[in-house]
Amino acid sequence: MATKIKRIGILTAGGDSPGLNAAIRGVGKAALGNYGWEIVGFRDGFRGLVENERINLDRNALSGILTVGGTILGTSRDKPHRMVVDGETKDMTGVIRDNLKKWGIDCVVCLGGGGTAKNALRLHRAGINVITLPKTIDNDVAVTDASFGYATALDIATEAIDRLHSTAHSHHRIIVAEVMGHRAGWLTLGAGLAGGADVILIPEIPYDVEKIVEAIRQRTKHGRNFSIVAVAEGAMSRDDAHIYDVAEKKLKRAKTLGGKIEAKREIAALDIRHQGNTMRLAKLLEELTQLESRVTILGYVQRGGTPSAADRILATRLGTACADLINEGTFGVMVAARGEETEPVPLEKVAGKRKSVPPDHHWVATARRLGTCLGD
Ligand code: F6P
């Protein structure tokens, strides 16, 4: 069913990632060129919809941004239903709906990960036309084959692991490289495989330090007295994973608001305790193997800079397909990558879901065949 669209909005939310500008350009060029709509960019995520902070995305604004890292719109982790305004946390959903109506915005395109899909779904349920595109360096957005940002981050993390090899080798050291990914191990597993890490630790496979030590000792026995350990920021020991598991089950079971708040507090405390895990792991490995250990936290380097060719193509494909879906009147969906095609999937299938590494994934099997230690 064709919808009479005149003006669309676009925003970027959550952590930035390479390819966001390529996607803005894809949506914008198709919107202007193929459909003649006006396109307005809202600044700093959902906050722009409240504060009317905007940029008119005309042809000039869309020119020259394909290769630019970050997002020209700015981003934030603000949630429409829990936004701090004038020092108070407020539900701004109604304000956003009224604003969009007042400004004549027929649809809002939200570029983000699973959290953004959740927020977009809330707006959709409040009667706003929304559509999302999957971006994340973590590759953990559900129901899409790929999300833009991941391919670039994978290249960056792989290059870092490549470079760490020569210095680890020269000094006969263990180098523990911490890779981003939140609760998913895709980035670490991919970079670990591509960079030839000796140990790969991901959240989906809780580790036993003794197994890592044994793998490193075996390498020393065979004359290789250095090791590269690629560890995901969310990776944890079996004991810690069990403690998290108990806390998360408690949250799921909580029936009252008070119970939920308490369970969430417990998880937050565990998250704080988890910070520094990589440093502690390296220290432990040094003590147990008697090999000098060093840590490199790759951090935000993985999110910055120019998108790779693969991410530019993906973001452009998803962005242009998004304009076609808006033209058809398809809302409340995420534009998913499906092989070489794209497909609209209902936001209910994406929001609050996480695509984790299945323990029997073929990348895991490949690493095992190579003899890479996965800590289990
Ligand atoms: O989701 C992308 C990501 O970079 C994760 O890998 C990481 O855990 C998180 O964002 C960091 O978030 P922030 O930018 O809020 O520090």
Q: What are the tens digits of pLDDT across the range 8-28?
A: 999 999 999 999 999 999 999
Average pLDDT, stretch 166-185? Answer: 97
Question: What's the CA-to-centroid distance between 180 and ligand 1, angstroms?
Answer: 7
Q: Indicate which residue's Cα is closest to atom 9 of ligand 1.
A: 182
pLDDT tens digits along 264-316: 999 999 999 999 999 999 999 999 999 999 999 999 999 999 999 999 999 99
Judge whether 132 and 335 are in contact, CB under 8 Å.
yes
Where residue 367 falls among pLDDT bands split at 50, 70, 90?
A: very high
Q: Is the pTM of this model over 0.85?
A: yes
Q: Which two tokens stand for residue 347?
A: 């936001």
Q: Which two tokens stand for residue 6?
A: 């005149």
- The reported pLDDT for the residue numbered 166 is 97
98 is catalytic: no
| Pocket mutation for ligand 1, best pick of 75, 78, 178, 182 (most atoms within 8 Å of C-beta) | 182
Find all residues with CB under 8 Å of 119, minimum gap 6, and list them. Answer: 13, 46, 79, 80, 81, 110, 112
Q: Is the pLDDT of residue 1 over 60?
A: no
Average pLDDT, stretch 62-71? Answer: 98
Question: What's the CA-to-centroid distance between 303 and ligand 1, angstroms?
Answer: 9
pLDDT tens digits along 106-116: 999 999 999 99
Q: CA-CA distance, 170 to 308, in Å (whole number)?
A: 31
Ligand 1 within 6 A of CB of 180 = yes
Q: Indicate which residue's Cα is closest to atom 11 of ligand 1.
A: 15
pLDDT tens digits along 224-276: 999 999 999 999 999 999 999 999 999 999 999 999 999 999 999 999 999 99
Q: Indicate which residue's Cα is closest to atom 16 of ligand 1.
A: 15
Ligand 1 within 6 A of CB of 219 = no
Average pLDDT, stretch 350-356? Answer: 96
Tokens 């539900």, located at residue = 91
Judge whether 180 and 298 are in contact, CB under 8 Å.
yes
What is the distance, to the nearest Å, from the Cα of residue 371 to the centroid of all Cα atoms in its chain? 29
DSSP string, 282-337: HHHHHHHH---EEEEE-GGGGT-SPPPHHHHHHHHHHHHHHHHHHHHT--SEEEEE
Q: CA-CA distance, 40 to 21, in Å (whole number)?
A: 14
Average pLDDT, stretch 62-81? Answer: 98
Question: What's the CA-to-centroid distance between 186 and ligand 1, angstroms?
Answer: 14
Q: Indicate which residue's Cα is closest to atom 12 of ligand 1.
A: 15
Ligand 1 within 6 A of CB of 188 = no
Where residue 64 falls among pLDDT bands split at 50, 70, 90?
A: very high
- The reported pLDDT for the residue numbered 153 is 98
Where residue 2 falls among pLDDT bands split at 50, 70, 90?
A: low
- The reported pLDDT for the residue numbered 3 is 59
Atom of ligand 1 nearest to the CA of 180: 6
Ligand 1 within 6 A of CB of 135 = no
Average pLDDT, stretch 64-79? Answer: 98
- The reported pLDDT for the residue numbered 261 is 94
| Pocket mutation for ligand 1, best pick of 79, 138, 152 (most atoms within 8 Å of C-beta) | 138
| Mean of all residue pLDDT scores within the chain | 97
Q: Which sign does the torsion angle of CA 267, 272, 277, 278 carry?
A: positive
Interhelix angle 257-274/238-253, nearest 10 degrees: 160
